[in-house]
Amino acid sequence: MRIVALAGGIGGARFLRGLQAAAPAADITVIGNTGDDISLFGLRVCPDLDTVMYTLGGGINEEQGWGRAAETFTLKEELGAYGVGPGWFGLGDRDFATHIVRTQMLAAGYPLSAVTEALCDRWKPGVRLIPMSDDQVETHVVVDDPEQGRRAVHFQEWWVRLRASLPARSIAAVGADDAAPAPGVLAAIADADVVLFPPSNPVVSVGTILSVPGIRDAVAAKTVVGVSPIIGGAPVRGMADACLTAIGVETSARAVAEHYGSDLLDGWLVDEADEGVRAEGVEVRSRPLLMSDPEATAAIARAALDLALELRERHGAGAGVDDTAGDGA
Ligand code: GDP
Ligand code: CA
């Protein structure tokens, strides 16, 4: 069975680990968000790609959800001693090595997709991880700064430094209009039996991936099931509500499903707290959606996959799924 998932960082990576447990024999391609990417200290940092790579490769700081396990911060302290910032973005010594390798390869002319593949040679995440695009796309947020007035800041500055404390007037994926999907992205979607949206941020993770020309249409042609990142009218963690508000979408499981739309979404998993929620043209199922431990997370992934296969069957495309998930389910 071939599965494509569109993933951001923590929410995406945790779901993917559950998906691997639920369907160990499945061929999984992950299309990663690169809108959060940022250049710091002359190095190219790709937070979402790295979170997926480290989580699935066994190198993640489990408590934090991002960054490396057993990390030290000597380099950051030394940079600080020179007065060189930013100090608000946590880059550890081990993590720095990843960004040095990436930057060196990019400078030598390799596209980000090839760099990501090379980094994954070490981490062996067990999925094919492809950035949404080799072209630079940066999520910018327009805020009303009390000191500097209305200005656009890089997503990381808004999210990490400001903790989304200044309301976003608008959010834009700068460069997306002229970006092309990375090699392999459209083919993976076309070849997929089903496409899954993990409970990643619908605006700045999944939404950014869908904003790359060609990806949305390719996904819309498939059977797509999403997992709601919103439970009982609030994000489970993080500040997704601030992103939804910025684009005029209510923070609710229903509103997020309708924002994706029935042209894109065939099925939508909501938490038991949202039982009874309906979304026009979308098959909604409720079940526990807290990724509290590996078993609970695998059960969520299994439910998303089962719903997708059921809907695929119903739409008459079910013949020929090589269901070698190997879990006996
Ligand atoms: P990313 O978008 O994948 O980079 O990940 P974030 O860490 O920013 O989180 C994205 C979304 O995942 C947030 O809106 C959270 O509400 C949601 N989320 C985090 N943990 C869980 C969980 O256990 N269950 C569900 N359903 N959503 C979660
Ligand atoms: Ca992210």
CA distance 281 to 11: 26
Ligand 1 pocket test, pick from 236, 268, 291 with the greatest ligand atom count within 8 Å of Cβ, gives: 236
With a 6 Å cutoff on the Cβ, whether 8 touches ligand 1 is: yes
Which residue has tokens 């090589």?
Answer: 322
CA distance 72 to 93: 6
With a 6 Å cutoff on the Cβ, whether 205 touches ligand 1 is: yes
- Distance (Å) from CA 173 to ligand 2 centroid: 13
pLDDT, position 318 = 54
With a 6 Å cutoff on the Cβ, whether 232 touches ligand 1 is: no
CA distance 323 to 329: 10
- Distance (Å) from CA 317 to ligand 2 centroid: 33
User: What domains are there in the chain, each with its CATH number?
Assistant: 2-33+178-326 (3.40.50.10680), 38-131 (1.10.8.240)
CA distance 100 to 122: 15
* pLDDT tens, the chain, 329 aa long: 999 999 999 999 999 999 999 999 999 999 999 999 999 999 999 999 999 999 999 999 999 999 999 999 999 999 999 999 999 998 999 999 999 999 999 999 999 999 999 999 999 999 999 999 999 999 999 999 999 999 999 999 999 999 999 999 999 999 999 999 999 999 999 999 999 999 999 999 999 999 999 999 999 999 999 999 999 999 998 899 999 999 999 999 999 999 999 999 999 999 999 999 999 999 999 999 999 999 999 999 999 999 999 999 998 765 556 555 444 44
Candidates 20, 17, 25, 16; CA nearest to 326 is 25
Candidates 49, 16, 217, 221; CA nearest to 133 is 49
Q: What is the DSSP string of 239-297?
A: SHHHHHHHTT--SSHHHHHHHH-TTT-SEEEE-GGGTT--BTTBEEEE------SHHHH
User: Contact 312/296 with Cβ under 8 angstroms?
Assistant: no
pLDDT, position 81 = 97
> Which residue's alpha carbon is at the smallest distance from atom 17 of ligand 1?
229
pTM of the model: 0.95
User: What are the Cα distances from residue 48, in Å, to 4, 102, 164?
Assistant: 16, 14, 18
With a 6 Å cutoff on the Cβ, whether 229 touches ligand 1 is: yes
Q: Are strands 2-7 and 27-32 parallel, antiparallel or unpaired?
A: parallel
Tokens of 36: 């959060």
Q: From the CA of 36, give the closest atom in ligand 1.
A: 4
Which residue has tokens 């999944």?
Answer: 206
- Distance (Å) from CA 193 to ligand 2 centroid: 26
Residue 7 phi/psi, 5-degree rounding, is -130, 145
User: Contact 224/197 with Cβ under 8 angstroms?
Assistant: yes
pLDDT, position 37 = 98
> Which residue's alpha carbon is at the smallest distance from atom 25 of ligand 1?
229
- Distance (Å) from CA 9 to ligand 2 centroid: 5
Residues with CB under 5 A from ligand 2 (ion): 8-9, 36, 48, 205
Distance of CA 277 to the CA centre of its chain: 24
With a 6 Å cutoff on the Cβ, whether 18 touches ligand 1 is: no
pLDDT, position 238 = 85
With a 6 Å cutoff on the Cβ, whether 226 touches ligand 1 is: no
pLDDT, position 329 = 40
